[in-house]
Amino acid sequence: MKWSLRIARFAGIDVFVHWTFVLLITWILLTNLGAGRSLDESLWSIWFVLSLFVCVVLHEFGHALTGRRYGVKTKNIVLLPIGGVANMEKMPEKPIQELWVALAGPAVNVVIAAIIGTILYAQGKMQLPADPSGAINTGNFMFNLFVVNLWLVIFNMIPAFPMDGGRVLRALLAMRYDKVKATNIAAKLGQVLGIGFIGLGLFYNVWLVFIGIFIFLGAGNEASYESTQALLSRYRVADVLMRQFTTLHVWDRLDKAVALLLNGQEKEFLVEDDNRIVGVLTREDIIRGLQQSNTDITVGRIAKTELVQLSLDMSLKDAFEQMAKAGIAISPVYENEELVGVVNQENIMELLMVQEAMAASR
């Protein structure tokens, strides 16, 4: 993780904290000291924020560990000043599973709030502490932690992407409609809510404007992601196969690749050795090769050796996912272990654009 520090590892999942977190802590310390509080008093506010983020981490583990039960891996959990993100590979396909994964996060905060609430109630401290300064201290620390966990539940359950509530709503709708339609309804509602928040925020609180923009953009992103996924899953690799392609040999010199690039339409090439495809060479690789050395260098020395093997009847969604994961723009396609053609990302994107344009014109 760039710009992040690993602070913990639990259940095989690394927890990272982003460096901007330091800014948040510094800001809290400075505003407290600026308000005339002593260092001791100010440190209570920092303890409070750190405790809050422990609750956020537990929330994310709620998502991650529930996802694991359905076979979804979580790469890591990253803490940003605005909250936490569990980087899950994907959401489970079945609506009921997505529902549980989405609910598991807020459920953790409900449990935390219930535990703190019970303790406070047993101690007879379950009322708003009278401290007009709003500063965190030993007297109101637990009560504030209780309240903030309730806020985490309410905020996350706003029924709009990218909040958990948006996923809950989509999962519920997907039990009745297909996933694309469910996503579209949830996204539309999210955008309406987003505009509502922006409108309210202009009159009451500028934070609501930010939340509104966040929700509005998140809703649009989710809708277009989901419709792309649905579109891709309707096609197979055979639908975008290109049978005309040029193969380079590992011993070919770079200037041969340069000539092919300049004289033809192709921007990526397969690289073979002993009649076997061993790598791919993209335009970027060729340019990088030219910058680093002269054209005498062989293709084999600059080609990427990561390969994804696709078959004709594979779904385009899986193919695109695998190519994106490996970071390669072109991939050989086999039928009965025989090379029959190539698929490149550009072709897949073109298919998507054409289909989306046709859908828009209907």
CB of 30 to Zn ion, least distance (A): 30
Among the listed ranges 135-143, 163-171, 206-214, 243-251, the one in contact with Zn ion (CB under 5 A) is 163-171
Q: Which is nearer to Zn ion, 107 or 230 (CB)?
A: 107
Given a contact cutoff of 8 angstroms between Cβ atoms, the answer to whether 84 and 77 are in contact is yes
CB of 102 to Zn ion, least distance (A): 7
Name which of 117 and 162 has its Cβ closer to Zn ion: 162
Establish if 159 lies at the interface with Zn ion (CB under 5 A): no
Distance of closest approach, residue 105 Cβ to Zn ion, in angstroms: 3
Judged by CB under 5 A, which of 76, 91, 99, 164 binds Zn ion? 164
| Residue (105 or 159) nearer to Zn ion, CB | 105
Rounded Cα gap, residues 62 and 107, in angstroms: 8
Please say which residue, 61 or 216, places its beta carbon nearer to Zn ion.
61
In the complex with Zn ion, which residue's Cβ is closer, 164 or 268?
164
Which CB, 70 or 334, lies closer to Zn ion? 70
Residue nearest to Zn ion (CB): 105
194 near Zn ion (CB under 5 A): no
Size of the site for Zn ion (CB under 5 A): 2
Stretch that binds Zn ion, among 91-99, 156-164, 181-189, 249-257 (CB under 5 A): 156-164
Q: Which is nearer to Zn ion, 108 or 237 (CB)?
A: 108
Q: Given the rule CB under 5 A, which of 164-172, 209-217, 247-255, 265-273 is the region that contacts Zn ion?
A: 164-172
- Helices (H) and strands (E) counted in the chain, each on its own, are 12, 10
Show the tokens assigned to 231.
């579109």
Taking the least distance from each CB to Zn ion, the nearer of 167 and 317 is: 167
Minimum distance, C-beta of residue 183 to Zn ion, in the bound complex (Å): 18
Which C-beta is closer to Zn ion: that of 157 or that of 187? 157
Contact pattern from residue 92 through residue 131 relative to Zn ion, giving x for each residue in contact according to CB under 5 A and a dash for the rest: -------------x--------------------------
165 binds Zn ion (CB under 5 A): no
Give the interface segment with Zn ion, choosing from 44-52, 109-117, 139-147, 160-168 (CB under 5 A): 160-168
Instruction: Retrieve residue 143's tokens.
Output: 């009560």
- What values do phi and psi take at 177, rounded to 5? -110, 170
3-state secondary structure the chain: CCCEEEEEEECCEEEEEECHHHHHHHHHHHHHHHCCCCHHHHHHHHHHHHHHHHHHHHHHHHHHHHHHHCCCCEEEEEEECCEEEEEECCCCCCHHHHHHHHHHHHHHHHHHHHHHHHHHHHCCCCCCCCCCCCCCCCCCHHHHHHHHHHHHHHHHCCCCCCCHHHHHHHHHHHCCCCHHHHHHHHHHHHHHHHHHHHHHHHHCCHHHHHHHHHHHHHHHHHHHHHHHHHHHHCCEHHHHCECCCCEEECCCEHHHHHHHHHHCCCCEEEEEECCEEEEEEEHHHHHHHHHHCCCCCEHHHHCECCCCCEECCCEHHHHHHHHHHHCCCEEEEEECCEEEEEEEHHHHHHHHHHHHHHHHHC
Candidates 116-124, 162-170, 263-271, 296-304; binding stretch for Zn ion (CB under 5 A):
162-170
- Does position 279 interact with Zn ion (CB under 5 A)? The reply is no
Site of interaction with Zn ion (CB under 5 A):
105, 164
